[in-house]
Amino acid sequence: MNTDQHREKRRLENPSAKFKLKIQRRENQDASATWETFELPYRRNLNVISALMEIRKNPVTVEGKSTTPPVWDMSCLEQVCGICTMVIDGRVRQSCSALIDDLLLESNSDTVTLQPMSKFPNVRDLKVDRSKMFDHLKQVHAWIELDGSYDLGPGPQISNEVAQERYAYSRCMTCGCCLEACPQYGDDNYIGPQAIAQARLFNMHPTGKIEIEERLNGLLGDDGIGNCGNAQNCVQVCPTSIPLTRAIYETNRDVTVNALFGWLKK
C-alpha cells in the first residue's frame, strides 16, 4: 500500500470483452506436458482462481474442443494457506491474489499463462506435491520441546521486538515460492530458505534456544545451509516478505558459533 499520497491504481483501459487463459496441462506425473488455451469474458475483479472456476463449469478450449476440467489446488483464497501457488506469467505466486486485470496490464497482452511449480513433483495440471517441505520441517526440528501440554502457566517473558521479529518468520505458509525461485534448490541438494527460516524462528525463542544444536545439525548435512548461493531470489518472491536472507545469515552465524563452541567442548 502506498502510504504517502493519492495514487490511482492503474487499470486496463478499454479492456477487450474477452481474454485468454493458457494452461499447461499434464494428465499425470508420467505424462508429457501439453498446452490448452481457454477464452473467457473479461470482468474487472476476476482473479486467476475465479477464472479457473469458470473454465471448470464448461471446459471447452478456444478452438471449441471439449476437454477435462483443469485440476488445481485451492483453499483459503486469502493468501494465508499457501496451497494455490503456481507459476503465473513466469512468476511464482498465489493464484488467489493474482488479479486478471493486473496481469493483462503488466504483460500488455490478452493472455495469462499458468504453469505448475517446477521444483516439485507435478501431480496433474497445476497441482504439485510439496510434502517434501514438511519433511524439511522435521529435519530442522521446527518446534518447541514441551514437558507436556498440561497447565504449567505462561511461557517466558519476551520483548515485543523479539515477538514481532519471530512473527515475521512465523507467517511462512510453506507455499514454496522461495524454493521455486532459488537457483540452488532442486534434486534434494539443498534444504532451502523456508526450513532455515523456521529453524531461526525457534532458535530465537528463549525455550527453543535450548534445542538449538538439534536444529543446526539438521542444517549441516550435504543438503545443508552451506549450499545457499546468495542469489537472494527468495526474498524477492516471498509473498509475506519474510526476511529469508537475514534468517540464512543469522543461522550461518549460529552454525559458526556453535561449531566453535562444540570444538571447545571436546
Partner 1 sequence: MASTSLKFAIVGGGLAGLAAAMKIAEAGHEVDLISVVPVKRSHSVCAQGGINGAVNTKGEGDSPAKHLDDTVYGGDFLANQPPVKRMCDMAPQIIYLFDRMGVPFSRTKEGLMDFRRFGGTLHHRTAFAGASTGQQLLYALDEQVRKWEVGGKVTKYEGWEMLSLVLDDHQVCRGLIAMNLQTLELKAFKADAVIMATGGPGLIFGKSTNSMTCTGSAVSACYQQGARYANGEFIQVHPTSIPGEDKLRLMSESARGEGGRVWVPRKDGDGRNPRDIPENERWYFLEEKYPAYGNLVPRDIATREIFQVCLEGHGVAGENQVYLDLTHIPAETLTRKLGAILEIYEMFVGDDPRYVPMRIFPGVHYSMGGLWVDFEQRTNLPGLFAAGECDYSIHGANRLGANSLVSCVYGGFVAAPSAIDYAKNVERGNTETNGIYDAELKKQREINDQIIKNEGGENQYKLHEEMGKIMTDNVTVVRYNDRLQATDDKLRELQERFSRISINDSNLWATQAVPHARQLWNMMQLARVITLGALNRNESRGAHYKPDFPDRDDENFMKTTIAEYSDEAPVLSYEPVDVSLVEPRKRDYSKGKAAK
Q: Restricting to residues 168-197, which ones interact with partner 1 according to CB under 8 A?
A: 170-171, 173-174
Nearer to partner 1, 118 or 131 (CB): 131
Tell how strand 34-41 and strand 122-124 pair up.
Answer: unpaired
Distance between CA atoms of 123 and 116, rounded to whole angstroms? 9
Distance between CA atoms of 20 and 42, rounded to whole angstroms? 9
User: Which residue in 40, 33, 49 sits closest to 110, CA to CA?
Assistant: 40
Cell of 98: 493474482
Among 77, 186, 217, 250, binds partner 1 (CB under 8 A): 77
Using CB under 8 A, which residues numbered 136 to 175 contact partner 1?
137-138, 141-146, 148-149, 151-155, 157-160, 163-164, 166-167, 170-171, 173-174
Min dist CB 261 to partner 1, Å, is: 23
Among 42, 91, 97, 246, binds partner 1 (CB under 8 A): 97
Among 23, 83, 179, 216, binds partner 1 (CB under 8 A): 83
Among 74, 111, 217, 235, binds partner 1 (CB under 8 A): 74
Among 93, 119, 127, 215, binds partner 1 (CB under 8 A): 127
Cell of 134: 514438511
Reduced to 3 states, what is the DSSP secondary structure of residue 240? coil
Among 20, 42, 62, 81, binds partner 1 (CB under 8 A): 81
Among 17, 32, 64, 78, binds partner 1 (CB under 8 A): 78
Among 19, 21, 23, 47, binds partner 1 (CB under 8 A): 47
- Please give the distance of CA 102 from its chain centroid, rounded to a whole number: 20
Q: Is 41 exposed, middle or buried (0-12, 13-18, 19+ CB in 10 A)?
A: exposed
Q: Is 50 in the site for partner 1 (CB under 8 A)?
A: yes
Min dist CB 8 to partner 1, Å, is: 8
Using CB under 8 A, which residues numbered 102 to 121 contact partner 1?
102
Q: Is 215 in the site for partner 1 (CB under 8 A)?
A: no
Tell how strand 111-115 and strand 18-25 pair up.
Answer: parallel
User: Which residue in 199, 131, 134 sits closest to 170, CA to CA?
Assistant: 199
Q: What is the largest CA-CA distance in the chain?
A: 73
